[in-house]
Amino acid sequence: MRLILIRHGETPSNVAGALDTAVPGAPLTPLGHRQAAAVAPVLTVERITAVHASPLVRTQLTAAPLAAARGLDVVVSDGLEEIAAGHLEMKTDDASVATYADTVAAWIAGDLSPTMPGGSDGHGFFDRYAAAVSAITADHADDATVVAFSHGAAIRTFAARHGGPADARLLNTGAVVLEGSPYRGWVVTRWSRDPLGGPHLIDAAAHDVTGDPDPV
């Protein structure tokens, strides 16, 4: 089975560098809509059996063009949402962004003990996200491809546990491909850092204070 995790399109919060993780979250920018529209043509060779999105508006808007092109519904699935910023929600200052990024980096490196201020530790995140992945892939055939639209920090952190690079970034509508099953486990087989539609869809302004793409 193939599981394709795709980060949502650009949002106003990405452009502002805000830690926007709560439901319903920001919508897409005009560029974000163009990024979303460009996903379906790239995945024409995939045998997609289901399209899922997190409970946040931006993932559902990003998923809609692909689902429409395949005649599928967007299934909103709890557990695919971003790593919650807790007390840092909607902060844009350097210290808050650094705290969020450092906590995520620790989890990616394997230390799950740090707790996001006002949020969970890494164990809580992995339990939640792994349960969501198992739920959305459990009833599909071995040769199926399931697509889930999720969030940058969440995808990178989950993928790192399954062979993904620890220091790789994921721009808006970048994608990670995993192969396996919820019973045998998953292995990362491809990492597409840039938007699936191509690097011309990158907005150089949508970066956080470290110069890296905003994680949420």
pLDDT in tens, 21-49: 999 999 999 999 999 999 999 999 999 99
Is 212 a residue whose pLDDT tops 60?
no
Is 210 a residue whose pLDDT tops 80?
no
Q: What angle do CA 179, 149, 44 make, to 5 degrees?
A: 65
Cα–Cα distances (Å) from 122 to 8, 90, 101, 149, 195, in that order, read: 22, 21, 13, 21, 27
Is 127 a residue whose pLDDT tops 90?
yes
Q: Look up residue 116 and give its two tokens.
A: 């996001």
Query: Where exactly are the structural domains of the chain?
Result: 2-201
Query: Which amino acid, one-letter code, is at 75?
Result: V
175: phi then psi, degrees, rounded to nearest 5: -140, 150
Tell me the CATH architecture of domain 2-201: 3-Layer(aba) Sandwich (3.40)
- Average predicted confidence (pLDDT) for the chain: 93
Is 162 a residue whose pLDDT tops 50?
yes
CA–centroid distance for 33 within its chain: 16
Question: What CA–CA distance (Å, rounded) separates 21 from 106?
Answer: 19
- Beta strand spans in the chain (E): 2-7, 48-53, 74-76, 145-150, 175-181, 185-192
> 209: pLDDT confidence band, cut at 50, 70 and 90?
very low
Please indicate whether residue 207 is annotated as part of the active site.
no
Decide: residue 189, CB within 10 A, 0-12 exposed, 13-18 middle, 19+ buried: middle
Is 69 a residue whose pLDDT tops 70?
yes
Which whole number is the average pLDDT over 111-123?
97
Per annotation, catalytic residue among 8, 52, 151, 162: 8
> 204: pLDDT confidence band, cut at 50, 70 and 90?
low
Question: What CA–CA distance (Å, rounded) separates 119 from 84?
Answer: 6
Is 215 a residue whose pLDDT tops 80?
no
Per annotation, catalytic residue among 10, 52, 81, 82: 82
Length of the chain: 216
Q: What is the pTM of this model?
A: 0.94
Query: Which amino acid, one-letter code, is at 17?
Result: G
